[in-house]
A and B are shown apart, each in its own frame.
Chain A
Amino acid sequence: MADASKNPYLGLSGADIFDQALREEGVEVMFGYPGGAVLPIFDRLYDSPIRFILTRHEQGAAHMADGYARATGRCGVVLATSGPGACNLVTGLATACMDSIPVVAFTGQVRSFLIGNDAFQEADVTGVTRPITKHNVLVKDVRDLARTMHEAFHIARTGRPGPVVVDIAVDATMAKLEEDVSQEMDLPGYKPCLTGNPRQIRLAAEAINAAERPVLYVGGGVILSNAVTELRALIAKTRIPVTTTLLGLGAVDEDDELSLRMLGMHGSAAANYAVQDSDCLIAVGARFEDRVTCNVATFAPKARVIHIDIDPTSIGKNVEVDIPVVGDARDILAKLLEHAQPKDRSPWLAKIADWKKRFPFVYEATGRIRPQEVIERIGRMTDHNAIIATGVGQHQMWTAQFYRFRRPRQIITSGGLGTMGFGLPAAIGAKVACPDQTVIDIDGDGSFSMTMVELITAVQNDIAVKVVVLNNGYLGMVRQWQEMFYRRRYSSVTHPCPGFAGVAQAFGAVGMTITDRAELDDALAALLKAEGPAVLDVQVEPEENVYPMVPVGKSLHEMNLGRVV
């Protein structure tokens, strides 16, 4: 008889091992949906201290795990059954993968001897999810279960984080572990590079110290690596102005005088002008994606480029880099802080202050309620400190422009994949993770419609998320493009919705609707005060557009500022 003190799983069933391994990973909550191939696991969960949040759709579960992870930095965990259950996770996995979010998804698989036979509810889950996960693996044997689960968590949260799928044949969850197999991780090919090369860091520091017009370009990687303290210290010491991507929002306090706000297609004029004029662009945890660069050939034309990223494939993928530094942003920024020197760059800072003054984000607060003013009010009423989730579209860009984020992990939004329907379930996940914080989903009528069924999940589980639907009756972002580039031929973008307040009430949540500016403050106050989940449907100006906007193919500095003062 083997020694159980050496192998804690000896004698346990696969389902027991599943529960125990999760608890060893510190998992407190899981999101998901049951089915035939995960029945043994659900039977075990009946007695487990792990909280299980039953959703209405597996996509919702995946986004909830994602929102949970974004709000905390911990792994979000999903459980779904084989075939249809697993396939419903696909959008959520791809969303997490594009934004490097640590999620571990467990899916049931048909009995191992049936795999490949088109058995009932069989899908080739590792095949389907391979390109949209950081890693995936099929477990057919109970002997591999615990080790594979621990490897999955390790891979999901280290290096450049990302989703990992563990597909488990149902018979492996029923079988008992009788053999004392090794529990050592077996990942000889997985060695994320964590510390930056000292020579590259010194070169980067020299370039920064020599620069007259440096700009920091900060992405979600800084938040993922918990490098915000180091980043802010570097900014304080060097007084280098900083712009962020959508996912980098909150890495700096947007009210800081050195904050240029967001850059890119709908970024601030100050950020875009500064990048185009910069002589040294310091990219940290960002990947020069096309919504940021717009026209990559003319992006930052005068700058030497320093690129700090943990993923070597990000470096040199879109733009040529002068000084690459591969490693964890936190480690590298801490070392850069030692070498980078303060320097008087008053002319550059004066130029930036001038751009900021001349080209703030603006809108006209006349006529019908403008979506931007709603977001501004939410910002003020929550002291710019709430966790804000969004859908995808105009409302998402306005949220980025008008909320004014202060701290990391505050904005929860699908950047890379741009997944409509992300907002509500992600907000639910964030609220589960941070029950003491105000969590608001600022959503579009189209996006909200896609996953609003999860409001039932919020009601059923007492998760007090707030939703503000900026209801323009349109798939607004698509409508804007049709207005600007397709001669106003509005093709399938009109989107009459049911009264969302009535829907919310039918689901058991608080529901309110307003159309008038005079009602706005009271309605928002009531929303924030409501005990449980609550929805405020704000009927806004239908044809408001997002500005500034860099038209497709143009350079950052050629942005259309809109009908600005």
Chain B
Amino acid sequence: MAVLTESRAAVIQRHVIFALVQNKPGVLAHVAGMFAARGFNIDSLVVGRTESPDLSRMTIVVTADDRVLDQVRKQLAKIIEVVKVKDFMGLDYVERDLMLIRVNAPPAKRGEVTELVNLFRGRVVDVAPSSLLVELTGTEAKLESFIDLARPYGLVELARTGVIAVPRGKQKD
């Protein structure tokens, strides 16, 4: 018999996990508390309403090895108010993160910044004398690369929703 940490450990991957939870007070605290108590790190956690008023949908991004992931999935499912858990790893799915980012853009630079926004298919949603507020959606990776490219102009403020994800159609549930 082998110890888990030594045998299977190593491969650390980013997993997008979806949890359907009952829409009841305390559920978020329960899920967050479980993550904290078991020492699991979360990259992001998003809660939102769904098509049913009784259910909320959590999208959780966790970067961890298989053993931790196995526990994350099982511990989530064990919470009474959690109705369903699914790891999107290996599935074809669409993920989106929404960002509002204010970039320094004095009149001289405004053209360059706007071009960058257009290249990323973002939208300028507010114009101030020396900055632009940009709305951008996409995968985490896309947002990251926009941030990298915009950084030299100076980032004033940034807010992100965290990832939500839904599998593509015609797949086995």
- Contact check: which of A186, A189, A322 meets B84 at CB < 8 Å? A189
With A189-B81, A189-B82, A190-B80 already in contact, the answer to whether A320 and B1 are too (CB < 8 A) is yes
| Separation of A282 and B167 alpha carbons in the complex (Å) | 39
Distance in angstroms from B62 CB to nearest chain A CB is 16
B108 at interface, CB cutoff 8 A: no
Q: How many B residues touch A, CB cutoff 8 Å?
A: 29
> Is B29 part of the binding interface, using a Cβ–Cβ cutoff of 8 Å?
yes
Q: Is B51 an interface residue (CB 8 A)?
A: no
CA distance A187 to B74 in the complex (A): 17
Compute how far the CA of A135 lies from the CA of B64 in the bound complex, rounded to whole angstroms: 27
Determine whether the beta carbon of B80 is less than 8 Å from that of A313: no
Cβ of B4 under 8 Å from chain A: yes
Let me know if B78 is at the binding interface, CB within 8 A: yes
- Expressed in whole angstroms, the Cα–Cα distance for A296 and B22 within the complex equals 37
Q: Contact check, B3 vs A189: say whether CB atoms are below 8 A apart.
A: no
Q: CB within 8 Å of A: which of B134-159?
A: none
Determine whether the beta carbon of A130 is less than 8 Å from that of B80.
no
Chain A: interface residue total (CB-CB under 8 A) = 33
Q: How far is the CA of A296 from the CA of B7 in the complex (A)?
A: 13
How far does the alpha carbon of A299 sit from the alpha carbon of B3 in the complex, in Å? 9
Chain B residues within an 8 Å CB radius of A296: 3
Residues of B within 8 A of A155 (CB): 80
Q: Are B79 and A189 in contact (CB under 8 A)?
A: yes
List of A residues within 8 angstroms of B77 by Cβ? 189, 312
Closest A residue to B74 by CB, please name it: A313
* B119 beta carbon closer than 8 Å to chain A: no
Residues of chain A lying within 8 A (CB to CB) of residue B30: 130
- A301 near B80: Cβ-Cβ < 8 Å: no
Contacts of A188 in B (CB 8 A): 22, 83
Q: Are A299 and B1 in contact (CB under 8 A)?
A: yes
Chain A, residues 179-192, CB within 8 Å of chain B (1/0): the string is 00000001111100
Question: Count of A-B contacts with CB under 8 A?
Answer: 65
A111 to B74, CA, bound (A): 36
**Which residues does chain A contribute within 8 Å of B84, judged by CB atoms?**
189
Check: B67 CB closer than 8 A to any chain A CB: yes
For residue A2, give the distance in angstroms from its CB to the closest CB of chain B: 23
The reply to whether A320 and B2 contact each other, CB–CB distance below 8 Å, is: yes
User: CA–CA, A155 to B79, complex, Å?
Assistant: 11
Interface positions of A from 92 to 137, Cβ below 8 Å from B: 126-127, 130-131, 134-135, 137
Q: Which residues of B contact A190 (CB under 8 A)?
A: 80
Whether A340 sits at the interface, judged by CB under 8 Å, is no
Residues of B within 8 A of A322 (CB): 1
Judging by beta carbons under 8 Å apart, are A319 and B29 in contact?
no
The yes or no answer to A75 lying at the interface (CB within 8 A) is: no
CB closest chain-A residue, reference B72: A313
Query: B29 touching A127 by the CB < 8 A rule?
Result: yes
A230: CB under 8 A from chain B?
Answer: no
The answer on a CB contact under 8 Å between A313 and B4 is no
Min CB distance B136 to A, Å, is 35
Say if the beta carbon of B50 comes within 8 Å of chain A: no
Q: Does A300 contact B (CB under 8 A)?
A: yes
Per-position binary interface string of chain B over residues 1-26, scored 1 when its CB falls under 8 Å from any chain A CB and 0 otherwise: 11110111000000000000110011
- Inter-chain contact A305/B83, CB cutoff 8 Å: no
A318 to B77, CA, bound (A): 19
**8 A Cβ contacts from B57-78 to A:** 67, 70-71, 74-75, 77-78
Task: Give every chain A residue within 8 A of B107 (Cβ-Cβ).
Answer: none
B33 contacts A by Cβ under 8 Å:
yes
A126 to B8: give the CA distance in the assembly, Å: 37
A131 and B74 contact, Cβ closer than 8 Å, known pairs A189-B79, A281-B1, A319-B1: no
14 CB contacts below 8 A, A to B, read: A131-B34, A138-B25, A187-B80, A189-B21, A189-B77, A189-B79, A189-B81, A190-B80, A301-B1, A303-B1, A312-B74, A313-B71, A316-B70, A320-B3
The chain A residues found within 8 Å of chain B, CB to CB, are 126-127, 130-131, 134-135, 137-138, 155, 186-190, 281, 296-297, 299-305, 311-313, 316-320, 322
Chain B interface residues toward A at CB < 8 A: 1-4, 6-8, 21-22, 25-26, 29-30, 33-34, 37, 67, 70-71, 74-75, 77-84
The 9 closest A-B pairs by CB, nearest first: A189-B83, A313-B74, A297-B3, A135-B80, A188-B83, A312-B74, A189-B82, A300-B1, A320-B4
